[in-house]
Amino acid sequence: MIKVLFFAQLAEYAGRSSCELEYQAAMTPRSMVKSMVGVVPKELTDALLHDVAMVAANEVMIAWDDALSDGDEVAFLPPFSGG
Amino acid sequence: MIAIDIREHDFNIGDEYAELCSQAPRAGAVVFFVGLVRDLYVDESDDRVDHIELSHYAGMTETLCESICQQANERFPYDAARVVHRVGKLAAGAQIVFVAVASRHRENAFQAAQYIMDYLKTNATLWKKEVGSRGENWVGMKENDQQATLRWEQS
């Protein structure tokens, strides 16, 4: 199982801040989002596939094509605006 | 000594300053910065921001802030640094962030405080939504904030 977290505008698009997905072999953040197309609100997949969101696995930044492992916590992060 | 505190409730500058000084008994300089909620939009028109809503990735935010402070310490060695960042609903005029650095001499305290503040804006998992006369808008990363961090990478 993969725990998926959405933050800020992405959470609003998703209508939730987290969900769980079944782990698939060779899964990456990009393949995960592609598998969500048609299942979750279009605004969410559009933003994830075309905007500049970043990804973290287990609170460490990773690339969109890095391999995930079963049990990972994957977070999709819009551009930061703290301070 | 690095202290990071991400929290909802307000901070008292005197208390934070005293806490920092207690962690750096041999310091000769303290520089601190306080960020406030502006009631202006970025274009500084007549529209007004009523409040902001700050969200963050609990756990990762603290880790990233600590890492930023460590990087600052490698470039501009200091005795102690303290970062307090508020989250939740903050009215215009409220305090958002406190960054303070204590060091032996003033130059490193100034440089490290600015370094930490610049990277806090672009490299920490914090998100700001403005709520005001223009409705609700998520604030994107500002180009001048990105330029501010690039400046450190090029120097």
ipTM of the complex: 0.92
**Is the confidence at residue B141, as pLDDT, over 80?**
no
B55 CA: distance to closest CA in chain A (Å)? 7
Domain that holds residue B100: 2-149
User: In this complex, which of A9, A77, A83 lies closest to B138 when CB atoms are compared?
Assistant: A9
Relative to beta strand B80-86, strand B2-7 is parallel
pLDDT of B147: 84
Share of chain A above pLDDT 70, in %: 99
pLDDT classification of B151: cutoffs 50, 70, 90 = confident
Q: Are B86 and B54 in contact (CB under 8 A)?
A: yes
CB pairs under 8 A between A and B: 67
Instruction: Give B26's DSSP letter.
Output: T
- Residues in chain A closer than 8 A to B141 (CB atoms): 79-81
- The answer to whether residue B34 sits within a structural domain is yes
Query: Helices A42-50 and A29-36 meet at what angle, rounded to 10?
Result: 150
Q: Has residue B155 been placed in a domain?
A: no
Q: Where are the domains of chain A?
A: 2-77
Mean of the pLDDT values across residues B56-81?
98
Count how many domains chain B has.
1
d(CA B81, CA B3): 6
Residue at B122 is within a domain: yes
CATH code, domain with B50:
3.90.1170.40
Residue that the structure tokens 């180009």 belong to:
B143
CATH 3.40.50.1100 for the A2-77 domain, yes or no: no
